[in-house]
Structure 1
Amino acid sequence: MRNLPVTVTSTPTLVRRDGSPFRRYAALAFGFMTLISAQSVFAFGFDDVADQARSLADQGYNAPQSNLPDSLSNLEYQKYSQIQFKPQYSLWRGDNLPFDLSFFHEGMHYNLPVTVNQVVGDDVSKLQYEPQQFDFSDSGIDPSSLPDDLGYAGFRVNYALQSENKQEVMAFLGASYFRVVGANQRYGVSARGLAIDTALSSGEEFPRFKNFWVVKPDKGDKYLTIYALLDSPSATGAYRFVLRPGQDSIVDVKSKLFLRRQVTKLGIAPLTSMYLFGPSQPSDDLNFRPAIHDSNGLLVNAAQGDWLWHTLMNPKKLMVSTYPADNPRGFGLMQRNHEFGAYQDLQDRYDLRLSAWIEPQGSWGKGQVELVEIPTPNETNDNIVSYWRPTGDLPTDQGLEFDYRINWTKNEARYHTSDLGWVAQARRSQGEVRQGNLVRKTDDSTMFVLDFVGPEMKSLDSDDGVKADISLGDNGNLVRSSVEPNPAMGGYRLRLSVKAKDGAKPVDIKALLRNGQDQPLTETWSYTLPANG
C-alpha cells in the first residue's frame, strides 16, 4: 500500500442534493485511495468502454445487490453527513497535479458501490476502499466493524479555481447523477447520464454508472478525462467526460448507448433542478424570501432559430410540457436572476446558483425537448427535469451516439441571441384594473407581468409599433393586455390577464413582442396555468 504526503486544503464547496431520485445529498470532505494490481497493458479509451457496454447489452440485466450492513443503511442524513473522507488520502494529492480525487462513503440510500479505476499511461488500476480513509466522527459507526470490500458510493474532483487551494468542482454520486461548478458559483442544477421513462405511470427507470476510469493528468493539464460505464434494465452506455474547470466550467460528453429493449421515453442530456416558489408563483405561506429555486426557467433554441423561455412552476399535480426540437441548437435549465435581493437567503445563496446549457454536437435527428414539473412541499426535493427525447422507434441492434457540451454558468446572456429580447422577470398576480378614482379593482382573472430586455430593446421607441402576440390554446380567454416601455429596466413590459374557459383544465400560454413589420422582437415566453390555478 502506498500513501501520499498530507496536504491540507480549504473547506470544499457544499453539495446540496444527492442525485438520487428527488433527494438531497450531503457535502463531505474526502481524499485518496490505494491502488491494486494493474489490470491492463493497453492504452485505455472510449472504444474499450463502448465494447464493454455492447457486450453488457447482449447479456441479461443483473440487478446490483446492496452490500451495506444495517448500521450504514439505516443512517439518517445528519449521521451520514458525519462520515468524512480524510484529505491526506486524496488521489494524486502528493503529485503536485492540477486535479485530485476524493471519495464518498456508502450509506443511507447510497447502498451500491461503484468501481473507480485510475488510468496511467498503459496501466489501468482499480482503487481500493479501506475504512481507515474515512473519519466517522459522530456518525455512530465503528469502522472496525466494516468489511474491507464495501467500495465507494462515488467521487469528487478537486481543482484550484481561484487560488492555490483546491475546491470541489465536480461530483458523481447516485445513479448517473453528476454536478459541476465554476468560480464564484454554488451547486444547483445537476446532470444525469440518461433518463428512461420519466413521468410515466409505469414508473421511471434510473440507470447508474457502475464503473469509472479516471485518466491521471499531467502537471500542465487544464482538463480531466473520465470514462464511465452505464447499466440499467433497458440500456447500457459508454461515456467520456472531459472536464474543463474555469470561471464557467465546461464538460464535453461523448456517449454511445445500446438498448436492451424498445424504450418508451429515452431522455438524452437530462438536467434536474428545484423550483419551490418565486415571483411567477408566490409562496402560499408567509416567507421573508421572495424566491427559493435553483432554476427559474427552461430555455430552448430550436434548430430553426426559435428561442423559447418556459417559466418554471411548482404544480399541485405532475405536469409534462413538450417543445418540438429537431436537431436542437441548445437547451438548458437556467437561473437568470443573480441579484441577492431576489432571494434574501444568506445560507443557501440562491443568487449564486448556476445554469446548465446543453449544446448538442452533430446531428441528433428528430425529437423534442420535454419538461417535467413535479409537486414538492419543500426545497429538499429536485422536482424539475428536462431532456431531449428522440421521436420514433430507436434501433436495438446498433449503438446510438449522442455527443454534447454542458456549459455551467452564471452568464446566461451568453446563451441567447443578442438580436432578440429575453424575459428578465415574469410575475404572477390576481387580475386587476385601475379605476377612475385610482383605486385598483381585482377580478377573477390571473395577471402576468413580463419584462423583456436586451440590446435591441433599448433602441426601440413608441414609433416602432411594439405589440404583443399572445396565444392561449383552446382553453384560455384573454381578458386584457397592454404593452409599454419600461425605462427602469431598459426594455418593454407586457401585462396580460387570462381566464380558463374550463377551470378543470390547464391553460397553455405563449407570448412574445413584435414590431410594426410583424417581426419578432423577443423570445417566446411560455407558461402553463394549471387547472383551477
Structure 2
Amino acid sequence: MKMRWVGAAVLLALYANNSWAFNLNDVAKEAKTLAGKSFEAPKSNLPSQFREMKFADYQQIQFNHDKAYWGKLRTPFKLEFYHQGMYFDTPVKINEVAANAVHEIKYSPDYFNFGNVKHDADAVKNLGFAGFKVLYPLNSRDKKDDEITSFLGASYFRVIGADQVYGLSARGLAIDTALPSGEEFPRFKEFWIQRPKPQDKQLVIYALLDSPRATGAYRFTVHPGKETTVDVQSKVYLRDKVGKLGVAPLTSMFLFGANQPSTVTNFRPELHDSDGLSIHSGNGEWIWRPLNNPRHLAVSTYTIESPKGFGLLQRGRDFSHYQDLDDRYDMRPSGWVEPQGDWGKGRIELVEIPTADETNDNIVAFWTPENLPDPGKEMNFNYRLHFTRDESQLHSDETAWVKNTLRSAGDVRQSNLVRQPDGSVAFTIDFVGKAMSEMPDNSQVAPQVSVGDNGEVVEQSVRYNPVTKGWRLVLRLRVKDNKQPTEMRAALVSGDKTLTETWSYQLPANE
C-alpha cells in the first residue's frame, strides 16, 4: 500500500512537471491584480553621477559581449543588457523561463565595461538592468551577434530585419497622447524571456506593463528574417478612466522631405525615419498620408471600423533621397500593424509634433477604440507587427500606391515659355503599381480631388509617366488663410473603377 502511494506521488510529480508551462495568463493575473491597487510610482535607485550623465558618457557603458546570456548554449539567440543611466533611472526585472521553472537574471556590474566613466564599485553593485537586446545570426549564419530587437525605456521597443538599421519604434501602449492634460507613458516593469531550444527560429518574450491609469500583460513572439515579424498578444486593464487609449502605437521621426523641403540648405534632400502613414480600412480603402514637421502640434484622425492594417512607412528606398552615409535612412524599416481579429469601431490617429532636429521622435500613430470598458475589465488586442523594406508587398497588385509627393511653388507657363509664380501651392503625386504598369499609356485616367474649405483648386491634371510606368497627378491650389491648415484628398480612376489608394494630405498652417 505504501509503495502504491509513493508511486502515485511520483506520477503526480512527473505529471505536474510535464504540464507546467509559463504563459500569458500568468502575467495577466499580475496585471489584473495591479489594476485593482493604487499605482506605486517606481523609485530611482541611481546615484546622481549616473542620473545626471550625458548621452556620450552613457554610451561608454557597454555590455561585455563575451558574457552574453545564452552565449554558451546551443541556441541561435543571445541576450545582452542595458545598464541604468540618464533617464533610464529605474531598474526593470528580467526573468528567464526555463523548462520547469522561472528564475530572475540577476544584475552584476561584471556584465559591463564602464569605459572612462569613473564610478564607485559599491555604488553600482545594487543597481539593475534598464532593458535588454536580442542577438541572432540575421545577416550571417556564422555569427550570432546581429541585433534584432531592443527593449529600453517606458514601453518602447525597436525591431529590425536583415540588412536594416534601427529607425522607428513600437510601444506597448500610449495614454492621452497630444491631450492638454499631458501624455502618460506606461512602462514595462518586468520581463520573462523564454529560453529557446536549439532548433527554435522564434523567441517568446512576456512583459508586465504598469502605469498610473492602466496595466497590461503582453506576449511577443519575435520571428527574425528578411522581414522580421512580431506577434503581439495583449491584455489591458484600466485603473481609472483615460481620455485616449493608444493601441499598437508606432513612434517615428520626420524632419523634412520632398513634400516639405528643408528651410535651410542641407546636402541631404530628405531626413526622416518614415515618410507617411498608410491605412488599410475595413471597407478595403487604402489611404496614404505623407508626414509633416509642422510649426504647431497637429492631430489627424481617421474614423475606421475593423481596420485591416496601418503603419508608418519609409517608401523612399533610394540612397539618393538621403545621401547620408552615417545614418542610412534608406535602410530604416517600415512598421506595419496587422490586427488579428475584429477591433471594431474606433479611429487611427496621427500626431505630428514640431522638431528642430532629427534627435527627437516627433511622429506618433496608433489605434484608439471608440468605447472603453469600466476600470478592471479586460481588453484584448492581438496583432502582428511587420518590419520590412519591401513596402510593395503590403499592397495588393491591383491597387496603385503613391511613390512620390513633391511640393513646390505653383506657377503658370507664359507665352514666352517662362514659368511665372502665381501664388498657388503645387503638388506632384506619382502613382505606381503592378496592375497600373500593365495599362496602355493612352488609358483614360481621371483624378478625383477634394479640398477643404481653406483651399481652392486651380489645376488638376493627369498624365502618363513613362519613367515609373505609372500616372502623375499635378494639383495646384490657392490657400485662403495661411494661418490655418488645408486638407486635401485625391485618387485616380478609370471609368467607375478606382485605380489607386487615396492620397490624403494636410498642408500645415503658416507655410
- Counterpart of 2:394, as a letter, is Y
Q: Note the 1:305-344 alignment, pairs <5 A.
A: 305-344=284-323
Task: Decide whether the 8 Å contact of 1:90 with 1:102 is kept in 2.
Answer: yes
CA distance in 2, matches of 1:250, 1:143: 42
> 1:162 Cα shift?
2.1
1:267 to 226, 246, 262: 246
- Name structure 2 gaps, 5 residues minimum: 1-18
Q: Does 1:50 align with 2:28?
A: yes
Structure 2: distance between partners of 1:471 and 1:462:
25
Task: Note the 1:137-176 alignment, pairs <5 A.
Answer: 137-139=115-117, 141-163=118-140, 164-166=142-144, 167-176=146-155
Partner of 1:89: 67
Identify which of 165, 170, 176 aligns with 1:186.
165
Amino acid at match of 2:121: S
Report the TM-score, using the length of structure 1 for normalisation. 0.91
| Percentage identity across paired residues of the two chains | 51
Query: Which structure 2 residues correspond to residues 141-290 of structure 1 after superposition, within 5 A?
Result: 141-163=118-140, 164-166=142-144, 167-290=146-269
**Counterpart for residue 63 of structure 1:** 41
- Measured after TM superposition, the shift of residue 392 of structure 1 is 2.6
Give the secondary-structure state (helix, strand or coil) at the position aligned to 2:105.
strand
Per-residue Cα deviation, 1:152-206 (whole angstroms, up to 9, x for no partner): 0000000001212121100000000001111000111110000000000100000
Per-residue deviation at 1:90?
1.1
- Within 1, Cα distance between the matches of 2:370 and 2:376? 17
1:519 to 497, 500, 506: 497
Distance 1:308 1:491 in 2: 18
Could you tell me which residue of structure 2 aligns to residue 529 of structure 1? 507
After superposition, the Cα gap between the structure-2 partners of 1:359 and 1:325, relative to the gap in structure 1 and judged at 3 Å, is: same
Give the drift of 1:418: 1.3
Among candidates 450, 460, 472, match of residue 481 of structure 1: 460
Distance (whole Å) between structure 1 residues aligned to residue 376 and residue 59 of structure 2: 44
**Per-residue Cα deviation, 1:499-529 (whole angstroms, up to 9, x for no partner):** 22222211111111111x2321100001101
Q: Counterpart in 1 of 2:105?
A: 127
**One-letter code aligned to 1:203:** G
Aligned to 2:348: 369
Q: Distance in 2 between matches of 1:430 and 1:117?
A: 57
Pick from 472, 487, 495: which aligns with 2:474?
Answer: 495
Instruction: Tell me the distance in 1 between the aligned counterparts of 2:470 and 2:342.
Output: 36
How far apart, CA to CA, are the structure 2 residues paired with 1:169 and 1:319? 32
In the alignment, which residue of structure 2 is the partner of 1:27? none
Count, aligned residues: 491
In structure 1, the partner of 2:76 is 98
Deviations 1:387-444 (A, max 9, x none): 0010134332410000000010001001112111100010110001111211111121
Q: CA deviation at 1:60?
A: 0.4
Q: 1:145 Cα deviation (Å)?
A: 3.8
Structure 2 residue 328 is matched with structure 1 residue 349: yes
Look up the equivalent residue of 2:192 and give its one-letter code.
W
- Displacement of 1:114 in angstroms is 0.3
**CA deviation profile, 1:124-163 (whole Å, cap 9, x unmatched):** 0001111121101122x32514232211000000000121
Instruction: Confirm or deny: 8 A CA contact 1:454 1:491 kept in the other structure.
Output: yes
Q: 1:455: Cα distance to partner?
A: 1.4
Aligned mates of 2:325, 2:354 — CA distance in 1: 25
Quote the residue 1:118 is aligned against. 96
Q: Which residue type is aligned with residue 129 of structure 2?
A: Y
Partner of 1:37: none
Q: Which amino acid aligns with 2:104?
A: K
Please say if residues 302 and 324 of structure 1, whose CA atoms lie closer than 8 Å, have aligned partners that are also in contact. Answer: no
Amino acid at match of 1:146: A
Distance in 2 between residues matched to 1:221 and 1:466, nearest whole Å? 50
Instruction: Describe the superposition over 1:202-241 as per-residue Cα deviations: whole angstroms up to 9, x where unpaired.
Output: 0000000000000000000000000000000010000000
Deviations 1:471-516 (A, max 9, x none): 112221102121100001110111111122222211111111111x
Q: Is the 8 A contact 1:230 1:236 kept in 2?
A: yes
Partner residue of 1:396? 375
**Could you say what the CA RMSD is over the residues aligned between the two structures, in angstroms?**
1.2
Give me the whole-angstrom Cα distance separating, in 1, the residues matched to 2:199 and 2:508. Answer: 53
- Matched-pair contact (CA < 8 Å) for 2:295–2:510: no
Provide the TM-score with structure 2 as the length reference: 0.94
- Higher-Rg structure is 2
